[in-house]
Structure 1
Amino acid sequence: MATVELRFSALPEHVRTARLVAAAVARRAGVDEAVLDEVRLAVGEACSRAVGLHASNAIAAPVRVLLIEDEKKFSIEVGDGVPGGAGAEGTGLEAAESGDAEGEDEMGLAVISGLVDDVEVTAGENGGVIRMSWPTAPAAVVP
């Protein structure tokens, strides 16, 4: 299992870099080319959400992105440093999926849940985490 860890200052201009790195690692991991745009968009939404949460809660800690390459799937975890996830009830996908989404936070979660089949949002005392994963194709053997 290979893992790439990316930490960046909670500034909007760094979200593009996170998207590019995520797409490059996803491609190397074997994620289907047709899905790479969804990976980029989902990572962009998750990172933008984390940057917004950091700004609105005056959190100086960096945004954390883990890119995890497994045998059969590629996962991305985007973590913010907001204790309790800015209201644990507001971070669940239930609100985003039911159409009761209010504000940019819930809208971002709705977009992510529309792009990614396997997504989980959690909140804890160390901050919130959005976990997303995509299947990978086995590496082609070159003769």
Structure 2
Amino acid sequence: MATVELRFSALPEHVRTARLVAAAVARRAGVDEAVLDEVRLAVGEACSRAVGLHRNGGITAPVKVSLIEDEKQFSIEVGDEAPHAAPGGLSATAAGDDVETEEDEMGLAVISGLVDDVEVKAGQDGGLIRMTWPTTPPPVPVP
């Protein structure tokens, strides 16, 4: 299992770099060429969401991206350090802020539409979006 880790300041201009790195590593891992645009879009959406959560919450910690290459799959984890849920289901940083909640839900809906295998975890210490795609093994050379 090979892993590439990327950390970047919560600035919108770094999202493009994360998308480019994710697509390059996905290609090397064996993700189907036809799916690479979906990988780029999903990573861009997840990173933009994390950047927004950090900026809105005044969090200075970097956004974390892990690109994980397994034998038959490729996964990308985008992590943030924004508190997501307080008891009672209200946002810990902006309880009652409908605009932020709608944008967050829209971002997650876009990601779910792009990726078949998505897992979202959220808590007081931050959140994690894990997206997984199947890979195809490289062709075996014929002697």
Q: With the length of structure 2 as denominator, give the TM-score of the two structures.
A: 0.87
Greater share of helix residues, 1 or 2?
Answer: 1
Residue segments in structure 1 that go unaligned for 5+ positions in a row: 92-101
> Aligned pair count?
133
Contact 1:51 1:63 in 2 (8 A): yes
Matches of 1:90 and 1:16, distance apart in 2: 31
Equivalences for residues 101-116 of structure 1 within 5 A: 103-116=102-115
Report what 2:79 is aligned to: 79
Runs of 4+ that moved beyond 6 A: none
Contact 2:86 2:124 in 1 (8 A): no
Report what 2:97 is aligned to: none
Residue-by-residue CA offset, 1:42-64 (whole Å, 9 max, x unaligned): 00000000000001100000000
**Which of the pair has more CA radius of gyration?**
2
Report what 2:4 is aligned to: 4
Amino acid at match of 1:103: E
Q: CA deviation at 1:77?
A: 0.2
Amino acid at match of 1:120: E
Partner of 2:76: helix, strand, or coil? Answer: strand
Cα distance change of structure 1 residues 65 and 41 upon mapping to structure 2, 3 Å threshold: same
Amino acid at match of 1:72: K
What percentage of residue pairs aligned between the two structures are identical? 79
Q: CA deviation at 1:90?
A: 7.6
Cα distance change of structure 1 residues 86 and 43 upon mapping to structure 2, 3 Å threshold: farther
Residue segments in structure 2 that go unaligned for 5+ positions in a row: 92-100
